[in-house]
Structure 1
């Protein structure tokens, strides 16, 4: 295929040898399958800030470190320089998170480098070498759903032990390889200690996974892993391998249990509607 302009510099520098095909394109970035020597990898090209809205990301940026006081002031005033610094920080956040999480044993794609604003990383594949499917594209047994849920909850725990929360975790940014689920897409990662919405985002992440996998194993809908791990995190007692029960005793008035259960069920229904939409689109093709 014709080399996208954003990847030309990587070919010129010998980072990659060839662009094989597009993999996916979303609001934040376009991902391409590329060849580097004998290895097939993927390259994530972040879209220009003009194509995205910073207003939608204010809640994620709270608590993130900025390189210097000048940059912090510029970002706060929304100057042109500040917007450029904010754009660079947004891209660097995912790169930094991938290296940190990979070193901590979290199941994420292996990063190979960040060049000219492009992240080159492992291409997650299935057992036959094709691009791995998303979790939401699979039909699962109850046993598989329980297994995947346990694996993903453990990844959330390990991320939290690194001081990070995914912030947008769902069945659509989890790939399933031969060895199980792998978490992707981290530009919106949240500081667990520095963001006032951290607990809410953690609960939303886990509830999204629970709602999706609860379609196949309904007993998962009666678990409270996010609340349990957050309580341990706040108490300084959460470790990467801490055993969780999924049970949690809420303080009186602490949470609207019925409302939260309805929210999970709504998410479950939304996931089913999206799946039906994809199936209908596939049949139309």
Structure 2
């Protein structure tokens, strides 16, 4: 997977403190904080929206660097022919066609070879992976990437850009997720030799294949669910242990005039009106039904794995999807999902029955 060079100190991350005020730290400071193992609330903030605001965009960062310091990049004179700090060439064409998202491609997705992927900051930490905010953009006036024959299809003075989430899975040695057996039962990989290698944890190849199985499982689940109409983020591509997907959230302008990306809040933080609560329930049960008809259960569904993007719900975190036919624990896992989400809706005044939902999903699956 292409790696980013060290991020410039001008790339800022905004997160809410516990008192609701905005704090600011440089990318270098952020890495120091990560090494100090700051907790999840400190990384994600505890504001109502539960998301991070990150300064985004080529040309959206601050340019107040002292010129006497040669270690800082001069962002006032960008080089449109080579990626800068915290950037890489777009990896869209560097992966095989089967590792890209399903068609039809959304019109917001940037697929130009001349685009840069710019890492803007961390959005979320998890038990088995971390999520980073990525801007994929074609700089204004940039031509095709080196060694590419693609013509420049953008209008003069215009640039294509989109925000993505890069979910990067840790190796098995560094992951904190210890319930893998329950989810992996009945799960097969595409090649039988890889399956045999996974069963041999002592071999280097077996460990390498095992390290990518969670990323593969999530990408395939997102691809199939999105194609079937489930409310999930669009899966852009997979490259090794990195899954690129749609960023769910909004962009706002802060007091200093900079564009900020604000991730959609988790459902657990929301207090919707009665009408919106019913709409959320209909959207959620529709998504669970789509998964059931695909023969799948989410496996870890809760208000923490559901985003409330305005009036729309988006189901996230699908690496542990369970095959309802092949996994012997599938009924137990599906019932747990039903009880967890129904408990949240019941606590907010909506009369829902987890057993009835469970029976309905099983009927649709079989």
Give the TM-score, by structure 1 length. Answer: 0.73
* CA deviation string 1:106-162 (max 9, x = no partner): 000011111243111111015866210000011123332222122101110101111
Q: CA deviation at 1:196?
A: 0.9
Structure of higher CA gyration radius: 2
Could you say which residue in structure 1 is the equivalent of 2:216? 92
CA distance in 2, matches of 1:158, 1:203: 16
Cα distance, 1:77–1:118 mapped onto 2, change above 3 Å = closer
Cα distance, 1:44–1:215 mapped onto 2, change above 3 Å = same
* Structure having the larger proportion of residues in helix: 1
Give 1:52's match in structure 2, choosing from 162, 172, 175: 175
CA distance in 2, matches of 1:137, 1:228: 28
CA distance in 2, matches of 1:216, 1:190: 28
CA distance in 2, matches of 1:222, 1:11: 47
RMSD of Structure 2 on Structure 1 (CA): 2.6
* CA deviation string 1:177-230 (max 9, x = no partner): 134110001111111111011111111112111101111124225762112321
Cα distance, 1:14–1:77 mapped onto 2, change above 3 Å = closer
Alignment of 1:163 with 2:295, yes or no, is yes
Give 1:35's match in structure 2, choosing from 129, 135, 155: 135
CA contact (8 A) 1:127 1:177 kept: no
Cα distance, 1:164–1:93 mapped onto 2, change above 3 Å = same
Local SS of the residue matching 2:359:
helix
Cα distance, 1:2–1:104 mapped onto 2, change above 3 Å = same
CA distance in 2, matches of 1:40, 1:141: 30
Structure 1 unaligned regions, length at least 5: 235-285
CA contact (8 A) 1:125 1:177 kept: yes
CA distance in 2, matches of 1:21, 1:12: 15
Give the TM-score, by structure 2 length. Answer: 0.58
Q: CA deviation at 1:63?
A: 1.4
Local SS of the residue matching 1:65:
coil
* Structure having the larger proportion of residues in strand: 2
Could you say which residue in structure 2 is the equivalent of 1:202? 334
List, as ranges, runs of 4+ consecutive aligned residues in structure 1 with deviation greater than 4 Å. 126-129
Q: How many residues align?
A: 232
CA distance in 1, matches of 2:129, 2:176: 13
Local SS of the residue matching 1:113:
strand
Cα distance, 1:220–1:168 mapped onto 2, change above 3 Å = same
